[in-house]
Structure 1
Amino acid sequence: MAMSVGGDSTETPMSDINTTPLVDVMLVLLIIFLIAVPVVLQTVPVKLPDVQYDPTQTKPENVMLSIRSEDGQTCQVYWGMTPVGHQELQDMAVAKLKAVVDKLGSNITPDDLPEVHIRGDVNTPYKCIGGAIYTMQSAGFARVGFISQPTKLGALTR
């Protein structure tokens, strides 16, 4: 590296940019990113938090779905107490949402729209519950919630 001392008698200002601090900062940033990127890309095994049980506020227009699978392959979906198939679930959901929207008119807020409450059996595969969620969301329901039953210990430690 060369440095101009300014020994000549003309004393003109130096017009070269000093890039040394810029290079130093860039090298430090490069080292920081080389250390930080592998930390971000690694997956960490996580234990999901315990569920806090809040009381469900049920509106009469909410849809209650129960989903179970006895053999692990076939999905059984119940609208209330009535068993429904995939297409029937889609048609009933669209009809229900259309009836609520027609009833409310043009003054609709997101809080006025019905919700879907899903009760899933413990042994039900995710594909059954995920399929019901997808069907209800494609029908227009924006809010989907899960109903669970707290353990006796969970009910006491609030």
Structure 2
Amino acid sequence: MGMNIGNSRQGEEDEVMVEMNTTPLIDVMLVLLVMLIITIPIQLHSVNIDMPSGTPPPQQIEPEVISIDVTPTNEVLWNGQPLAGSDALEAKLQAAAAMPVQPEIHVRPNRAARYDTVARVLAASQRYGLGKIGIVGSEQFAQ
């Protein structure tokens, strides 16, 4: 049992302290905590990963870039080489569509080129199923 030391008055009888002394309880809990920490095995910071087996996937082949220019005189150039007519353009586009990897078509119209010539190139590309078509140099039309 504990006694109250600080509140005693002279001449009065000492009162018994009713509160529980928690200091030994805390000491026991700290000792148990230290024992628990010591007995836990040290875990390594490693992660087990299931690695895939087999061959890696094949590397992706970069598509060929085909540049189609439309000059101010409405002449169509295939990678810088002039084409004889619309039949030559259709034959080149058909050959490009038959490639195993679909090429990228970069259409570069001149500002002075007629719209119907550019539209004919785009329509022929779409007709043969070429989906990777882009118009290059469109910032010249924003001026």
* Structure showing the higher helix proportion among its residues: 1
TM-score, length basis structure 1:
0.44
TM-score, length basis structure 2:
0.49
**Largest Rg, 1 or 2:** 2
Higher relative contact order (CA 8 A, sep 6+): 1
